[in-house]
Amino acid sequence: MTSTSITDATRELLLSRIRDVPDYPKPGVLFKDITPLLADPAAFTALTDFLAELCVRHGATKIVGLEARGFILAAPVAVRAGLGFVPVRKAGKLPGATLGQAYELEYGTAEIEIHAEDLSAGDRVMVIDDVLATGGTAEASLELVRRAGAQVAGVSVLMELGFLSGRARLEAGLRDAPLEALITL
Ligand SMILES: O=P(O)(O)OC[C@H]1O[C@H](OP(=O)(O)OP(=O)(O)O)[C@H](O)[C@@H]1O
Ligand SMILES: Nc1ncnc2[nH]cnc12
């Protein structure tokens, strides 16, 4: 389900600040680089404002950001929305008691972790990331959110790489929660 109502002008602005880098980090991968967008205060503000609005609209009580690029978006969104931020980190980076989940992505395999104590049964979590590619990272994060005892309010990403079918892969994990993608490529 998508219920995004970003304006065409904002979408064009965001799209114009995403740089294509061919063959990075491996041959055959077209890397979508968001650093030009982050360097443009108008684009970065428009993006974080819109994501914060989505979090409120979907009744989120916590924001989960996915390391590393997801942190850059999710932290200002959490502040803007007045909600707590919970990091999902690559394995071995969190000092407390963690839950872990292994997953595959477009160019390798990885494992992510969360501090279980940061979420509770009453929480509704919006997961935020920059890119939905194969959906492996987001799928693993939904597992972690549920294993930590919280509900999923949705997944919001700046861009979805439609040809990698992450949306289909996430369907089961989302159940009826929304997947919001501001840009679909
Ligand atoms: O849908 P998927 O196939 O799982 O891919 C999407 C994920 O891949 C990228 O992260 P990456 O693991 O490259 O880490 P980074 O943010 O630290 O660069 C991106 O930021 C997403 O988190
Ligand atoms: N093609 C891509 N560009 C940027 N980030 C990604 N994460 C997974 N695939 C990606």
Distance CA 112, CA 126 (A): 17
Residue 4, pLDDT > 80, answer no
- Is 158 exposed, middle or buried, given 0-12, 13-18 or 19+ CB atoms closer than 10 A? buried
92: left (phi over 0), alpha (psi -120 to 50) or beta: left
Q: Does residue 152 carry a pLDDT above 90?
A: yes
By alpha-carbon position, which residue is closest to atom 10 of ligand 2? 31
Q: Which residues contact 175 (CB under 8 A, 6 or more apart)?
A: 152
- Ligand 1 atom 15, closest CA: 68
Q: pLDDT digit string (tens) for 22-45?
A: 999 999 999 999 999 999 999 999
Query: Residue 17 Cα, ligand 2 centroid: separation in angstroms?
Result: 15
pLDDT of 107 reads 64
pLDDT tens figures, 78-121: 999 999 999 999 999 999 999 999 998 766 789 999 999 999 99
Residue 169 appears among annotated catalytic residues: no
Query: Of residues 69, 80, 89, 167, which has the active-site annotation?
Result: 69
Calculate how far, in angstroms, residue 93's C-alpha sits from the geometric centre of ligand 1.
Answer: 16
**Catalytic residue flag (residue 175):** no
- Sorting pLDDT into bands at 50, 70 and 90, what band is 5? confident
Looking at residue 33, its pLDDT comes to 98
- In which order are the strands placed within the sheet that holds 151-160? 98-105, 108-115, 84-90, 62-66, 124-132, 151-160, 179-184
Mutate to test the pocket of ligand 2, among 24, 32, 37, 165 (most ligand atoms within 8 A of CB): 32
pTM over 0.90: yes
Mean pLDDT calculated for residue range 144-167: 97
| Amino acid, res. 76 | P
